[in-house]
Amino acid sequence: MPASCLRWGFLSTARITKALLDPLRNSKRNQLLAVASRSQDNADEYARKHKVKRAYGSYVDLLADPEIDVIYNPLPNHLHAEWTIKAIQAGKHVLCEKPLALSLAEVDAMSAAAESSGKLIAEAFMYRSHPQTLKTREIVADGRLGKIKMVRGSFTFMMTNPDDYRWKPEMGGGGLLDVGCYPLSYTRFVLGAEPLEVFGWQVTGPTGVDELFTAQLRFPQNVFAQFDCSIKIPYHVFMEIVGDEATLIIPRPFNPGPKEKLYLTKDGKTETIAVKGTESYLAEVEDMADAILLNKPPRVSLSDSRANTAVILALFESAKTGKPITI
């Protein structure tokens, strides 16, 4: 195995891990070596089905494997901080699913562990590494839309499994943490700014999680943003950036593929902007390789993740109190 190839271990057999199977197989700088589950039978079954060389019946055993370089942590949200820190302390880099953590104290503990170990932690917002996202930010920055006035977005879907952990508040469930974090992160990125004040409303379901959340955000220079998210509304995803000269619509902002299109409307005429890219999850693992092997900054830094977490917490506080919250 060349020193330039990173060996990965999956810290779960969760369904989302399948999104990384082909990207890791297709990457010359990354390889999936092992998978872990809470039971040996589950790990063995996953390894056989997906042709993974090593299977561990506990998370601790995976972290003890000296040949693993990178851990992918897709555990339920309330376990992100705990097991990411354990992985870092075991000498592994970590790609942790979003949301990175449930509190600023957890983010700070993760950052401290990464700093003391010299290892990397990155939050798995795969859209950030895709050329479409970078093109969108370029269009905003170069003034083609004029002065930005408004950003709108949505991410909703129907979660039908009654046993899913995302119905449980104690496990970090609900729409804002699961999918609302995407339009929030996207807005902050394309604007290159942090909100000054936020206001949120939520519809709380019988289990206590937010089934529907809508957010209003005020950014510097009187730029406003709004987004909605839900785990009880049919699939609906988009981002829209409105300037005083033109509007840009991004139909597939959060999981773009190899060929995407942006739509820029100005003076009643719509221009289609084709963007060639790659599969989003492949771009994500290559970004990890760039950061670890080439010492490039990751697309999602820990300071960026901390800022996103801070806004999420402020939105929850606003929905609870019925008052705007200053960031």
Average pLDDT for runs of 10 along the chain of length 327 = 82 96 97 98 98 98 98 98 98 98 98 98 97 97 98 98 96 98 98 98 98 98 98 98 98 96 98 94 97 97 98 98 97
Q: Which domains does the chain have, with CATH numbers?
A: 6-124 (3.40.50.720), 127-326 (3.30.360.10)
Q: Give the pLDDT score at 2.
A: 45
Q: Can you give the pTM of this predicted structure? A: 0.96
Q: Give the pLDDT score at 3.
A: 60
Q: What is the DSSP string of 30-66?
A: EEEEEEE-SSHHHHHHHHHHHT-SEEESSHHHHHT-T
Residue with the two structure tokens 């057999």: 13
Quick check: bond before 99 cis, omega within 30?
A: yes
* CA separation for the pair 30, 32 (Å, rounded): 7
- Reported as a single tens digit per residue, the pLDDT across 120-144 is 999 999 999 999 999 999 999 999 9
Q: Give the pLDDT score at 4.
A: 85
* Cα dihedral across residues 47, 53, 56, 60: positive or negative: negative
Q: Give the pLDDT score at 1.
A: 42
Half-sphere exposure in the Cβ direction for 46 (13 Å, CA): 27
